[in-house]
Structure 1
Amino acid sequence: MKVVRFTLEGSMNSFRIPQTSVYQLTYLAPTKTQIVGMLSSIMGKDETDYYDLLRKLNVGIIPKTIDSLFTDYWTFRKLKSSKRAKGGRAVLRREKLYKTIYIIYVAAEDTLISEIVNSLKIPKRIPSLGLDDELVLIKNVKEIKMEKEEKNVVHSIFRFEEGMVFIPKISAILGMQIFPPRIVTTNLEFDNNVIPRKPINFVQIVEFAGMYCELGSEKILYVDQEENCNVDML
Protein backbone atom coordinates (compact mmCIF):
# COMPACT_ATOMS: atom_id res chain seq x y z
CA MET A 1 0.00 0.00 0.00
CA LYS A 2 1.23 3.50 -0.85
CA VAL A 3 1.70 5.69 2.19
CA VAL A 4 2.97 9.22 2.87
CA ARG A 5 5.25 9.42 5.91
CA PHE A 6 6.18 12.76 7.43
CA THR A 7 7.21 14.35 10.71
CA LEU A 8 5.30 17.03 12.63
CA GLU A 9 7.13 19.18 15.18
CA GLY A 10 5.26 21.57 17.46
CA SER A 11 6.32 24.09 20.07
CA MET A 12 3.10 24.20 22.12
CA ASN A 13 -0.02 22.25 21.17
CA SER A 14 -3.18 20.97 22.79
CA PHE A 15 -5.48 18.23 21.47
CA ARG A 16 -8.59 18.60 23.55
CA ILE A 17 -10.39 15.53 24.84
CA PRO A 18 -14.03 16.43 23.99
CA GLN A 19 -15.55 15.21 27.26
CA THR A 20 -13.69 17.92 29.23
CA SER A 21 -14.83 21.54 29.48
CA VAL A 22 -13.73 23.89 32.29
CA TYR A 23 -10.48 21.97 32.76
CA GLN A 24 -9.64 20.85 29.22
CA LEU A 25 -7.48 17.73 29.12
CA THR A 26 -5.36 16.87 26.09
CA TYR A 27 -4.65 13.71 24.14
CA LEU A 28 -0.94 12.90 23.96
CA ALA A 29 -1.08 13.10 20.17
CA PRO A 30 -3.33 14.62 17.51
CA THR A 31 -6.28 12.45 16.55
CA LYS A 32 -7.15 11.25 13.05
CA THR A 33 -9.79 13.98 12.73
CA GLN A 34 -7.21 16.65 13.61
CA ILE A 35 -4.57 15.31 11.22
CA VAL A 36 -7.11 15.22 8.40
CA GLY A 37 -8.19 18.75 9.38
CA MET A 38 -4.61 19.97 8.99
CA LEU A 39 -4.26 18.19 5.64
CA SER A 40 -7.54 19.69 4.39
CA SER A 41 -6.29 23.15 5.34
CA ILE A 42 -2.86 22.94 3.68
CA MET A 43 -4.47 21.40 0.58
CA GLY A 44 -6.69 24.48 0.31
CA LYS A 45 -9.90 22.50 0.72
CA ASP A 46 -13.18 23.49 2.38
CA GLU A 47 -15.32 21.88 5.09
CA THR A 48 -17.19 19.59 2.66
CA ASP A 49 -13.89 18.22 1.36
CA TYR A 50 -12.76 17.60 4.95
CA TYR A 51 -15.58 15.13 5.63
CA ASP A 52 -14.85 13.41 2.32
CA LEU A 53 -11.16 13.04 3.24
CA LEU A 54 -12.08 11.54 6.62
CA ARG A 55 -13.68 8.64 4.78
CA LYS A 56 -10.87 8.23 2.24
CA LEU A 57 -7.76 8.48 4.45
CA ASN A 58 -6.26 6.08 6.97
CA VAL A 59 -3.89 7.60 9.52
CA GLY A 60 -1.16 6.15 11.76
CA ILE A 61 0.53 8.20 14.51
CA ILE A 62 3.76 7.58 16.43
CA PRO A 63 4.48 10.06 19.25
CA LYS A 64 8.29 10.26 19.28
CA THR A 65 8.92 13.08 21.77
CA ILE A 66 6.91 15.09 24.28
CA ASP A 67 9.16 17.34 26.35
CA SER A 68 6.55 18.09 29.00
CA LEU A 69 2.88 18.61 29.78
CA PHE A 70 1.70 21.75 31.58
CA THR A 71 -1.47 23.72 32.32
CA ASP A 72 -2.19 27.09 30.78
CA TYR A 73 -4.81 29.53 32.08
CA TRP A 74 -7.06 31.35 29.63
CA THR A 75 -9.61 34.10 30.17
CA PHE A 76 -12.58 34.22 27.85
CA ARG A 77 -15.63 36.42 27.43
CA LYS A 78 -19.00 34.91 28.38
CA LEU A 79 -22.34 35.79 26.81
CA LYS A 80 -23.88 36.24 30.24
CA SER A 81 -22.12 37.45 33.37
CA SER A 82 -22.53 35.73 36.73
CA LYS A 83 -21.41 36.22 40.31
CA ARG A 84 -18.36 34.02 39.71
CA ALA A 85 -17.48 35.63 36.38
CA LYS A 86 -17.38 39.39 36.92
CA GLY A 87 -17.56 41.53 33.82
CA GLY A 88 -18.69 38.56 31.74
CA ARG A 89 -15.29 36.82 31.89
CA ALA A 90 -14.24 33.41 33.18
CA VAL A 91 -11.02 31.40 33.53
CA LEU A 92 -10.35 28.19 31.61
CA ARG A 93 -7.56 25.74 32.41
CA ARG A 94 -6.14 23.86 29.43
CA GLU A 95 -3.49 21.16 29.30
CA LYS A 96 -0.77 21.83 26.73
CA LEU A 97 2.12 19.81 25.36
CA TYR A 98 5.59 21.33 24.98
CA LYS A 99 8.07 20.48 22.23
CA THR A 100 6.39 17.55 20.51
CA ILE A 101 7.51 15.36 17.59
CA TYR A 102 5.18 12.94 15.81
CA ILE A 103 5.71 10.60 12.88
CA ILE A 104 2.55 10.53 10.76
CA TYR A 105 1.51 7.93 8.18
CA VAL A 106 -1.31 8.64 5.72
CA ALA A 107 -2.66 5.99 3.35
CA ALA A 108 -4.91 6.80 0.39
CA GLU A 109 -5.47 6.21 -3.32
CA ASP A 110 -2.51 7.01 -5.60
CA THR A 111 -3.96 10.22 -7.07
CA LEU A 112 -4.81 11.56 -3.62
CA ILE A 113 -1.38 10.59 -2.28
CA SER A 114 0.29 12.81 -4.90
CA GLU A 115 -1.89 15.77 -3.93
CA ILE A 116 -1.12 15.24 -0.23
CA VAL A 117 2.64 15.04 -0.88
CA ASN A 118 2.60 18.27 -2.89
CA SER A 119 0.62 20.05 -0.17
CA LEU A 120 2.95 18.83 2.58
CA LYS A 121 5.94 20.19 0.66
CA ILE A 122 4.26 23.44 -0.45
CA PRO A 123 1.29 24.14 1.88
CA LYS A 124 -1.47 26.42 0.59
CA ARG A 125 -2.19 27.52 4.18
CA ILE A 126 -0.08 27.73 7.34
CA PRO A 127 0.01 24.26 9.03
CA SER A 128 -1.52 24.22 12.50
CA LEU A 129 -2.84 21.61 14.93
CA GLY A 130 -5.27 22.19 17.76
CA LEU A 131 -5.91 25.94 17.64
CA ASP A 132 -5.02 28.29 14.79
CA ASP A 133 -1.99 29.68 16.63
CA GLU A 134 -0.58 26.23 17.49
CA LEU A 135 1.69 25.96 14.48
CA VAL A 136 3.70 22.91 13.43
CA LEU A 137 6.70 22.26 11.19
CA ILE A 138 6.33 19.61 8.49
CA LYS A 139 9.55 17.68 7.79
CA ASN A 140 10.88 14.53 6.11
CA VAL A 141 8.01 14.04 3.64
CA LYS A 142 8.38 10.74 1.80
CA GLU A 143 6.27 8.26 -0.14
CA ILE A 144 6.81 4.68 1.01
CA LYS A 145 5.22 1.27 0.61
CA MET A 146 3.87 -0.62 3.60
CA GLU A 147 2.57 -4.17 3.73
CA LYS A 148 0.18 -5.76 6.20
CA GLU A 149 1.69 -8.35 8.52
CA GLU A 150 0.69 -10.07 11.74
CA LYS A 151 2.85 -8.63 14.53
CA ASN A 152 2.82 -8.67 18.33
CA VAL A 153 4.78 -5.40 18.69
CA VAL A 154 3.21 -2.01 17.89
CA HIS A 155 5.03 1.34 17.85
CA SER A 156 2.08 3.61 17.05
CA ILE A 157 -1.09 4.61 18.83
CA PHE A 158 -3.41 1.64 18.32
CA ARG A 159 -7.03 0.61 18.58
CA PHE A 160 -7.89 -1.11 21.88
CA GLU A 161 -10.12 -4.18 21.81
CA GLU A 162 -11.90 -5.76 24.76
CA GLY A 163 -9.66 -8.27 26.55
CA MET A 164 -6.52 -7.07 24.77
CA VAL A 165 -3.28 -7.49 26.71
CA PHE A 166 -0.32 -5.17 26.09
CA ILE A 167 3.00 -4.69 27.87
CA PRO A 168 4.77 -1.30 27.58
CA LYS A 169 8.48 -1.24 26.74
CA ILE A 170 10.72 1.83 26.98
CA SER A 171 12.25 2.99 23.70
CA ALA A 172 13.26 6.51 24.71
CA ILE A 173 16.83 7.77 24.92
CA LEU A 174 18.35 8.68 28.29
CA GLY A 175 16.76 11.78 29.81
CA MET A 176 13.71 11.74 27.55
CA GLN A 177 10.26 12.19 29.08
CA ILE A 178 8.17 8.99 29.26
CA PHE A 179 4.37 8.94 29.05
CA PRO A 180 3.01 5.46 29.98
CA PRO A 181 0.13 3.91 27.98
CA ARG A 182 -3.40 5.02 28.72
CA ILE A 183 -6.72 4.13 27.12
CA VAL A 184 -8.80 7.05 25.84
CA THR A 185 -11.87 7.40 23.63
CA THR A 186 -11.87 9.26 20.33
CA ASN A 187 -14.10 9.52 17.28
CA LEU A 188 -13.12 8.75 13.69
CA GLU A 189 -15.99 10.44 11.83
CA PHE A 190 -18.66 13.14 12.04
CA ASP A 191 -22.29 13.27 11.00
CA ASN A 192 -22.28 16.64 9.22
CA ASN A 193 -25.93 16.42 8.16
CA VAL A 194 -26.99 17.93 11.50
CA ILE A 195 -26.17 21.29 13.09
CA PRO A 196 -24.01 21.27 15.09
CA ARG A 197 -22.17 18.30 13.59
CA LYS A 198 -22.25 15.12 15.66
CA PRO A 199 -19.19 12.90 16.37
CA ILE A 200 -19.76 9.24 15.44
CA ASN A 201 -17.80 5.98 15.21
CA PHE A 202 -16.20 6.20 18.64
CA VAL A 203 -13.24 3.90 19.36
CA GLN A 204 -10.88 3.34 22.25
CA ILE A 205 -7.20 3.87 21.54
CA VAL A 206 -4.00 3.25 23.49
CA GLU A 207 -1.67 6.26 23.45
CA PHE A 208 1.83 6.73 24.87
CA ALA A 209 5.16 8.45 24.15
CA GLY A 210 8.76 7.27 24.39
CA MET A 211 7.57 3.67 24.41
CA TYR A 212 6.22 0.80 22.32
CA CYS A 213 3.94 -2.08 23.31
CA GLU A 214 4.18 -5.86 23.13
CA LEU A 215 0.75 -7.39 22.53
CA GLY A 216 -0.56 -10.57 24.11
CA SER A 217 -1.50 -11.84 20.65
CA GLU A 218 -0.66 -10.94 17.06
CA LYS A 219 -2.46 -8.07 15.36
CA ILE A 220 -2.55 -7.07 11.68
CA LEU A 221 -0.37 -3.97 11.36
CA TYR A 222 1.33 -2.01 8.58
CA VAL A 223 5.11 -2.40 8.57
CA ASP A 224 7.55 0.42 7.86
CA GLN A 225 10.69 -1.47 6.92
CA GLU A 226 12.88 1.65 6.79
CA GLU A 227 12.04 2.81 10.32
CA ASN A 228 11.48 -0.72 11.64
CA CYS A 229 8.06 0.31 12.97
CA ASN A 230 4.71 -1.48 13.09
CA VAL A 231 1.80 0.90 12.68
CA ASP A 232 -1.95 0.65 13.29
CA MET A 233 -3.82 2.70 10.68
CA LEU A 234 -7.12 4.20 11.86
Structure 2
Amino acid sequence: MKMIVFDIWGDYGHFKKIYTTTSPLSYDFPPKTSIYGMLGAFLGLDKENYLRHINKDTVKIALKIKNPIQKTNIALNLIDTKKGRVKGPGFNLINGRTQIRFEMLKNPKYRLYVYLTDKESYSKLKNLLEQHKTVYTISLGLSELIANFGYVGEFEVEKKVSDNEYTPINSVIRRDNLINDDINLEMDREYLFSKIPNEMDENRITTEYIDIFYERNGEPISCKVKEYYHIPELNENITFI
Protein backbone atom coordinates (compact mmCIF):
# COMPACT_ATOMS: atom_id res chain seq x y z
CA MET A 1 0.00 0.00 0.00
CA LYS A 2 1.21 3.49 -0.86
CA MET A 3 0.55 6.56 1.27
CA ILE A 4 0.87 10.31 0.73
CA VAL A 5 3.05 12.03 3.33
CA PHE A 6 3.14 15.78 3.95
CA ASP A 7 4.00 18.22 6.73
CA ILE A 8 1.66 20.98 7.91
CA TRP A 9 2.55 23.85 10.22
CA GLY A 10 1.77 27.42 11.26
CA ASP A 11 2.48 30.19 13.74
CA TYR A 12 -0.49 29.21 15.89
CA GLY A 13 -3.14 26.50 16.06
CA HIS A 14 -6.26 25.80 18.08
CA PHE A 15 -8.25 22.56 18.12
CA LYS A 16 -10.96 23.19 20.69
CA LYS A 17 -11.54 20.62 23.40
CA ILE A 18 -15.22 19.81 23.31
CA TYR A 19 -15.76 20.20 27.04
CA THR A 20 -14.44 23.79 27.26
CA THR A 21 -16.68 26.82 26.76
CA THR A 22 -15.84 30.31 28.06
CA SER A 23 -12.06 29.75 28.05
CA PRO A 24 -11.42 27.39 25.14
CA LEU A 25 -8.57 24.90 25.59
CA SER A 26 -6.84 23.15 22.69
CA TYR A 27 -5.90 19.57 21.97
CA ASP A 28 -2.17 19.15 21.38
CA PHE A 29 -2.70 17.99 17.79
CA PRO A 30 -5.58 17.94 15.31
CA PRO A 31 -8.07 15.12 15.97
CA LYS A 32 -8.92 12.95 13.00
CA THR A 33 -12.22 14.82 12.62
CA SER A 34 -10.22 18.03 12.06
CA ILE A 35 -7.94 16.29 9.58
CA TYR A 36 -11.04 15.21 7.64
CA GLY A 37 -11.86 18.90 7.27
CA MET A 38 -8.33 19.71 6.11
CA LEU A 39 -8.49 17.01 3.45
CA GLY A 40 -11.89 18.27 2.35
CA ALA A 41 -10.42 21.78 1.98
CA PHE A 42 -7.47 20.46 -0.03
CA LEU A 43 -9.82 18.62 -2.39
CA GLY A 44 -12.43 21.39 -2.63
CA LEU A 45 -15.28 19.41 -1.06
CA ASP A 46 -18.25 21.40 0.24
CA LYS A 47 -18.22 21.79 4.02
CA GLU A 48 -21.81 20.54 4.18
CA ASN A 49 -21.10 17.14 2.61
CA TYR A 50 -17.35 16.44 2.70
CA LEU A 51 -17.93 13.78 5.36
CA ARG A 52 -19.75 11.71 2.74
CA HIS A 53 -16.44 11.36 0.94
CA ILE A 54 -13.89 11.65 3.77
CA ASN A 55 -14.67 9.20 6.57
CA LYS A 56 -13.43 6.04 8.29
CA ASP A 57 -14.46 3.90 5.30
CA THR A 58 -12.55 5.94 2.71
CA VAL A 59 -9.37 7.17 4.41
CA LYS A 60 -6.57 5.96 6.67
CA ILE A 61 -4.62 8.56 8.63
CA ALA A 62 -1.57 8.63 10.89
CA LEU A 63 -0.07 11.69 12.57
CA LYS A 64 3.39 12.50 13.86
CA ILE A 65 4.26 15.46 16.10
CA LYS A 66 7.15 17.36 14.50
CA ASN A 67 7.60 20.36 16.81
CA PRO A 68 7.50 20.19 20.62
CA ILE A 69 4.04 21.01 21.96
CA GLN A 70 4.02 24.60 23.24
CA LYS A 71 1.01 26.64 24.31
CA THR A 72 0.20 30.26 25.06
CA ASN A 73 -2.96 32.24 25.85
CA ILE A 74 -4.23 34.91 23.46
CA ALA A 75 -7.26 37.16 24.00
CA LEU A 76 -9.58 37.37 20.99
CA ASN A 77 -12.45 39.83 20.50
CA LEU A 78 -15.53 37.87 19.49
CA ILE A 79 -18.43 39.69 17.85
CA ASP A 80 -22.12 38.93 17.83
CA THR A 81 -23.39 39.07 14.25
CA LYS A 82 -26.77 37.44 14.94
CA LYS A 83 -28.52 40.06 17.09
CA GLY A 84 -28.35 43.17 14.95
CA ARG A 85 -25.31 44.73 16.59
CA VAL A 86 -23.72 45.54 13.23
CA LYS A 87 -25.08 48.98 12.33
CA GLY A 88 -23.22 49.62 9.12
CA PRO A 89 -22.31 47.88 5.86
CA GLY A 90 -19.06 46.67 7.40
CA PHE A 91 -17.74 45.64 10.78
CA ASN A 92 -16.33 49.06 11.57
CA LEU A 93 -19.51 50.09 13.41
CA ILE A 94 -19.83 47.05 15.67
CA ASN A 95 -20.78 48.09 19.18
CA GLY A 96 -20.73 44.73 20.93
CA ARG A 97 -17.66 42.60 21.54
CA THR A 98 -16.75 39.89 24.02
CA GLN A 99 -13.10 39.24 24.81
CA ILE A 100 -12.25 35.57 25.36
CA ARG A 101 -8.87 34.06 26.17
CA PHE A 102 -8.01 31.16 23.87
CA GLU A 103 -5.34 28.58 24.57
CA MET A 104 -3.21 28.46 21.42
CA LEU A 105 -0.64 26.01 20.14
CA LYS A 106 2.57 27.91 19.38
CA ASN A 107 4.59 26.98 16.26
CA PRO A 108 2.75 23.68 15.76
CA LYS A 109 4.01 21.30 13.11
CA TYR A 110 2.77 17.83 12.24
CA ARG A 111 3.41 15.13 9.67
CA LEU A 112 0.34 13.52 8.13
CA TYR A 113 0.25 10.12 6.45
CA VAL A 114 -2.85 9.71 4.26
CA TYR A 115 -4.33 6.90 2.19
CA LEU A 116 -7.56 7.46 0.24
CA THR A 117 -9.45 4.49 -1.18
CA ASP A 118 -10.89 6.60 -4.01
CA LYS A 119 -8.18 6.67 -6.67
CA GLU A 120 -9.34 9.96 -8.19
CA SER A 121 -9.26 11.75 -4.82
CA TYR A 122 -5.90 10.18 -3.99
CA SER A 123 -4.40 11.35 -7.29
CA LYS A 124 -5.91 14.84 -6.92
CA LEU A 125 -4.54 15.26 -3.39
CA LYS A 126 -1.08 14.12 -4.50
CA ASN A 127 -1.03 16.51 -7.48
CA LEU A 128 -2.16 19.46 -5.35
CA LEU A 129 0.51 18.81 -2.74
CA GLU A 130 3.21 18.47 -5.39
CA GLN A 131 2.22 21.87 -6.78
CA HIS A 132 1.76 23.42 -3.31
CA LYS A 133 -1.87 24.21 -4.08
CA THR A 134 -5.22 23.79 -2.36
CA VAL A 135 -8.79 24.42 -3.47
CA TYR A 136 -9.79 26.07 -0.18
CA THR A 137 -7.50 27.72 2.37
CA ILE A 138 -6.05 25.37 4.99
CA SER A 139 -6.07 26.45 8.63
CA LEU A 140 -5.02 24.96 11.94
CA GLY A 141 -8.37 24.82 13.68
CA LEU A 142 -9.59 28.41 13.37
CA SER A 143 -10.04 30.20 10.04
CA GLU A 144 -7.66 32.96 11.16
CA LEU A 145 -4.83 30.49 11.80
CA ILE A 146 -3.61 29.94 8.25
CA ALA A 147 -1.43 26.86 7.73
CA ASN A 148 1.51 26.18 5.45
CA PHE A 149 2.37 22.73 4.17
CA GLY A 150 5.10 20.83 2.39
CA TYR A 151 4.91 17.65 0.34
CA VAL A 152 7.24 14.92 1.60
CA GLY A 153 6.41 12.24 -0.94
CA GLU A 154 4.54 9.07 -1.76
CA PHE A 155 5.87 5.98 -0.03
CA GLU A 156 5.23 2.27 0.13
CA VAL A 157 4.20 1.08 3.59
CA GLU A 158 4.52 -2.43 4.97
CA LYS A 159 2.03 -3.79 7.48
CA LYS A 160 3.61 -5.47 10.49
CA VAL A 161 1.86 -7.65 13.07
CA SER A 162 3.05 -7.81 16.67
CA ASP A 163 5.85 -10.19 17.55
CA ASN A 164 5.50 -9.15 21.20
CA GLU A 165 8.68 -7.08 21.00
CA TYR A 166 9.13 -3.40 21.77
CA THR A 167 8.89 -1.32 18.60
CA PRO A 168 9.70 2.41 18.22
CA ILE A 169 6.53 4.12 16.96
CA ASN A 170 6.96 7.58 15.41
CA SER A 171 3.28 8.54 15.29
CA VAL A 172 0.66 9.08 17.97
CA ILE A 173 -0.84 5.77 19.14
CA ARG A 174 -4.37 4.61 19.82
CA ARG A 175 -4.51 3.07 23.26
CA ASP A 176 -6.58 0.13 21.98
CA ASN A 177 -3.65 -0.75 19.70
CA LEU A 178 -1.29 -1.14 22.65
CA ILE A 179 -0.76 -4.61 24.07
CA ASN A 180 -1.60 -4.45 27.79
CA ASP A 181 -0.53 -0.77 27.83
CA ASP A 182 3.04 -2.05 27.61
CA ILE A 183 5.32 0.97 27.05
CA ASN A 184 9.04 1.14 27.67
CA LEU A 185 9.15 4.49 29.48
CA GLU A 186 12.37 6.46 29.14
CA MET A 187 13.55 9.02 31.68
CA ASP A 188 14.18 11.89 29.24
CA ARG A 189 10.76 11.69 27.54
CA GLU A 190 7.46 13.48 28.28
CA TYR A 191 4.59 11.05 27.78
CA LEU A 192 1.03 12.33 27.48
CA PHE A 193 -2.39 10.79 27.22
CA SER A 194 -5.57 12.36 25.79
CA LYS A 195 -9.13 11.39 24.92
CA ILE A 196 -10.13 12.92 21.59
CA PRO A 197 -13.08 12.83 19.18
CA ASN A 198 -12.20 10.51 16.33
CA GLU A 199 -15.25 10.09 14.10
CA MET A 200 -18.39 12.06 13.25
CA ASP A 201 -21.40 11.43 11.07
CA GLU A 202 -22.70 13.59 8.22
CA ASN A 203 -24.62 15.71 10.72
CA ARG A 204 -21.31 16.56 12.41
CA ILE A 205 -22.24 14.60 15.53
CA THR A 206 -19.27 12.86 17.15
CA THR A 207 -19.74 9.10 17.07
CA GLU A 208 -16.42 7.89 18.50
CA TYR A 209 -13.92 8.98 21.12
CA ILE A 210 -10.55 7.30 21.53
CA ASP A 211 -7.63 7.44 23.93
CA ILE A 212 -4.35 8.58 22.35
CA PHE A 213 -0.84 8.15 23.75
CA TYR A 214 2.00 10.39 22.53
CA GLU A 215 5.28 12.06 23.43
CA ARG A 216 5.25 15.86 23.84
CA ASN A 217 8.37 16.48 21.73
CA GLY A 218 7.47 14.02 18.99
CA GLU A 219 10.08 11.46 20.06
CA PRO A 220 9.46 7.79 19.14
CA ILE A 221 7.64 5.71 21.73
CA SER A 222 9.02 2.25 22.41
CA CYS A 223 6.02 0.01 23.00
CA LYS A 224 4.24 -3.21 22.12
CA VAL A 225 1.46 -2.72 19.60
CA LYS A 226 -0.92 -5.13 17.92
CA GLU A 227 -0.01 -3.83 14.47
CA TYR A 228 1.89 -1.02 12.81
CA TYR A 229 3.10 0.10 9.39
CA HIS A 230 6.75 0.48 8.42
CA ILE A 231 7.93 3.04 5.84
CA PRO A 232 11.39 1.84 4.69
CA GLU A 233 12.35 5.04 2.81
CA LEU A 234 11.67 7.21 5.88
CA ASN A 235 12.67 4.57 8.41
CA GLU A 236 9.49 5.34 10.34
CA ASN A 237 6.88 3.18 12.04
CA ILE A 238 3.34 4.52 12.22
CA THR A 239 -0.07 3.46 13.53
CA PHE A 240 -3.41 4.66 12.22
CA ILE A 241 -5.76 6.73 14.38
**Structure 1 length normalisation: TM-score?**
0.82
**3-state SS, counterpart of residue 181 of structure 2:** coil
C-alpha distance in 2 between matches for 1:39 and 1:227:
23
Q: Which runs of 5+ in 2 are unaligned?
A: 84-94
C-alpha distance in 2 between matches for 1:57 and 1:224:
18
Q: CA RMSD in A?
A: 2.4
Whichever residue aligns with residue 195 of structure 2, its letter is T
Identity of aligned residues (%): 24
Whichever residue aligns with residue 9 of structure 1, its letter is W
Q: Deviations over 1:44-86 (max 9, x none)?
A: 1113123421231111100011363111122324679xxxxxx
Show the counterpart of 2:195. 185
For residues 129-208 of structure 1, what are the structure 2 equivalents within 5 Å?
A: 129-150=140-161, 152-161=167-176, 163-169=180-186, 180-193=190-203, 197-208=204-215
Show the counterpart of 1:175. none
Whichever residue aligns with residue 28 of structure 1, its letter is D
For residues 1-234 of structure 1, what are the structure 2 equivalents within 5 Å?
A: 1-46=1-46, 47-55=48-56, 56-66=58-68, 68-77=70-79, 89-109=97-117, 110-120=119-129, 121=131, 122-150=133-161, 152-161=167-176, 163-169=180-186, 180-193=190-203, 197-210=204-217, 211-215=219-223, 217-234=224-241
Q: Deviations over 1:60-118 (max 9, x none)?
A: 100011363111122324679xxxxxx86443221111112211100122433212112
Q: Deviations over 1:107-159 (max 9, x none)?
A: 12243321211232321122212011211111134111101113632111110
Moved over 3 A (4+): 77-80, 87-91, 167-171
**33-42 or 104-113: which moved more?**
104-113
C-alpha distance in 2 between matches for 1:63 and 1:170:
19
- The alignment of Structure 1 onto Structure 2 pairs a total of residues equal to 217
Q: Which runs of 5+ in 1 are unaligned?
A: 81-86, 172-177
CA gap 1:51/1:169 in 2 versus in 1, 3 angstroms: farther
**Structure 2 length normalisation: TM-score?**
0.80
C-alpha distance in 2 between matches for 1:230 and 1:104:
13
C-alpha distance in 1 between matches for 2:186 and 2:4:
27
Higher strand share: 1
Contact 1:28–1:208 (Cα < 8 Å) also in 2: no
Q: Deviations over 1:163-220 (max 9, x none)?
A: 413234589xxxxxx7x22221122221334xxx3111111111333222111x3430
